[in-house]
Amino acid sequence: MVLNFLFAAAMPQAEAATGASPEDFYKGKVVKIYVAAAGGVHEMVSRMIAPYLTKYTGATYVVETLTAGGGLEAHNRVWTAKPDGLTLGCHSASSLMLNDAFDAPGTIAQVEKLVYLADTGTDPSILVSRAGKFKTFSDLKKTKGLRVGVLSPTGGRTLSSLGWIYGADLDAKLVAGYKGSADVETAMVRDEIDLTGVSVATYLKGAKGGRYSGFGVFETSRLKVLPDLPALTDLMAAGAPKEKRELLATLTQITGSGVIYFAPPGFPEERAVYLRRAFEQIMKDPDFLKEYQKAWGGYFPPRKTADQLANAAIELKKMKKSLQDQVSALLKKYLL
């Protein structure tokens, strides 16, 4: 209902004027996908999915990474784009929504007005170090002055990292400002930082390749694919205050890094429906699924619907002030 209202309210006159069906419109067109992080799971999935979008729509999809501002450059490029169906964005649902919820400097996109097309996989953050630097979570607890690398101060991985520091009582600070996953990884290899948060797919590949040591999953329960990694709640002190547990429960719900696709306000309804259908066809395509699961290390992450994404954006806006106050206080304490 929410999405239908938004689409109907912003339906461009050009659609009616041309009379072109979505199938005819997309054939031979070039569509830009602006990815808000370089070198990570969002770029990986977008480059993997682009030829399949071509297969199901007839358009050519060009993937471009815009990393400034921890993803804000890409968010804003999509927000200001002409809503003609030829500009899409890709990032994590959490980063997109939290930049708005926390009024990150430079934010202009209003998440409740964006048009959501697909979620190709949502997964929680895994706390990691470079392989062998620490052996156990107990080693982290004993270490003073840990440095945790993140992108923007209010991104999804940032808040999950903040949740680890606060929830597990680590002696640590957040180091923000990195442009993308590749930059964070380089900083960790150079010992500029000690820890960071990565997606499940990135962790599965990195752990097998001898790049990471993993310590826990930012969730309220363990993952079936990683049964040996404890959840945050397993590592919290038994007597943790109720308010701490409630805040961390909220953060675990909103910080999973979903690889989502979205479009600017006013995106034509028929084209949005058509692209949603194309994404669903892709997620059932045997060739894509084989390639996709291999890239995710055999892990097939759960997905949200477009309606669920739209509703999550609206709900997040409702709790904006209280969440701002609590997280701002923690950032003031833990952000370098």
Question: Residue 155's closest CA among 107, 221, 119, 110?
Answer: 107
Question: Residue 261's closest CA among 289, 242, 280, 241?
Answer: 280
CA distance 145 to 125: 21
**Which regions of the chain are under pLDDT 70?**
1-19, 70, 154, 256-257, 297
In our burial notation (b when 16+ CB lie closer than 10 A, e otherwise), range 73-102 reads bbbbbbbebebbbbbbbbbbbbbbbbbbbb
- Predicted pLDDT of residue 243: 87
Instruction: State in words which class domain 126-254+326-334 has.
Output: alpha beta
Question: Residue 153's closest CA among 90, 71, 41, 43?
Answer: 71
| Distance separating the N- and C-terminal Cα atoms of the chain | 43
Report the predicted TM-score, pTM, of the whole model to 2 decimal places.
Answer: 0.69
- Predicted pLDDT of residue 256: 66
Which superfamily does 2-123+257-320 belong to?
Bordetella uptake gene, domain 1 (3.40.190.150)
Q: DSSP of 5-65, one letter per residue?
A: HHHHHT--HHHHHH---HHHHHTT-EEEEEESSSSSHHHHHHHHHHHHHHHHHS-EEEEEE
Helix (H, G, I), strand (E, B) or coil at 260: strand
CA distance 162 to 6: 34
Domain coordinates in residue numbering, the chain: 2-123+257-320, 126-254+326-334
- Predicted pLDDT of residue 208: 77
CA distance 108 to 103: 9
10 Å CB burial of residue 147 (0-12, 13-18, 19+) is middle
Which ranges of 58-177 does DSSP label H, i.e. alpha helix? 72-79, 93-101, 137-142, 156-167
Q: What angle do CA 179, 182, 187 make, to 5 degrees?
A: 85
DSSP category for residue 154 = T
Q: What are phi and psi of 143, to 5 degrees?
A: -90, 135
CA-only gyration radius of the chain, Å? 20
**Domains 2-123+257-320 and 126-254+326-334 fall in the same CATH topology:** yes
Q: Which amino acid is at 73?
A: E
